[in-house]
Chains A and B, each alone.
Chain A
Amino acid sequence: QVQVMQSGAEVGKPGSSVKVSCQTSGGSFLNYAISWMRLAPGQGLEWVGGIIPLFGRPSVARKFQDKVSITAHKSTSTVYMELSGLTSDDSALYFCARGEKEYDFLTNGEFGTDDAFVFWGQGTLVTVSS
């Protein structure tokens, strides 16, 4: 069965960067989109961005475009999200999730309309503190 495992909690100083990982197993890594979500204290879920490893081109919400870099490493079936220029606003729980829609070269690298987040990681707490 599909499993999604995230790296452990991170503490970063203001202005620094942290990198969080999301490893999937139990299915093809290349053909399924992985997305990252943020759950900040007192707020709701927000989609940060995502990537389809087959194509390697990330899609990032405008709000996070100067903050986040998303990459996929095929050899380790791992997607990374790097948060840079940390501020206290970045302190949050970050989840990665995968859908069940299988992508191939006919999809042109676009995220599908029917791709829900089925399999979730356990969450990674990022704390920004000096």
Chain B
Amino acid sequence: DIQMTQSPSSLSASVGGTVTITCRASQNIEYYLHWYQHKPGKAPKLLIYTAFSLQRGVPSRFSGSGSGTDFSLTISSLQPEDFATYYCQQSYSTPRTFGQGTRVEVK
């Protein structure tokens, strides 16, 4: 199975700030890496697919980069609604695997 390691596990940031979350795969997954946002009581939401493509309807302050084994999600100009938990997920192979999540909290 492909292991996905996210860092940090949590972070504090201010409204208007910029945060970067990283995700490392245990083997080459090319561009088959997706990012999700999850808020308590809601369904997860796809933000970025295949490493850097912005899902329709997602604000452009979200961006993704990377390929191979190392990926990142950047949120610029943080808004109050962005405080949530973020997960990376690989679809290179089954079983699909997620990172352990990064909780973004208000500073």
List residues 87-130 of chain A with CB under 8 A from any CB of chain B. Answer: 95, 97, 111-118, 120-123
Contact in complex: B43, A95 (CB < 8 Å)? yes
Q: Is B17 an interface position by the 8 A CB rule?
A: no
A45 to B90 CA separation, bound complex (whole angstroms): 12
Contact in complex: B43, A120 (CB < 8 Å)? yes
Contact in complex: B34, A116 (CB < 8 Å)? yes
Which residues of the partner chain B approach A37 to less than 8 Å between Cβ atoms?
44, 98
Contact in complex: B43, A123 (CB < 8 Å)? yes
Contact in complex: A45, B98 (CB < 8 Å)? yes
What residues make up the interface of B, taking CB atoms closer than 8 Å to A?
A: 1, 30, 32, 34, 36, 38, 43-46, 49-50, 55, 85, 87, 89, 91-101
Which residues of the partner chain A approach B50 to less than 8 Å between Cβ atoms?
114, 116
Q: Is A59 an interface position by the 8 A CB rule?
A: yes
Contact in complex: B36, A47 (CB < 8 Å)? no
Q: B91 touches which one: A44, A59, A62, A115 (CB < 8 A)?
A: A115
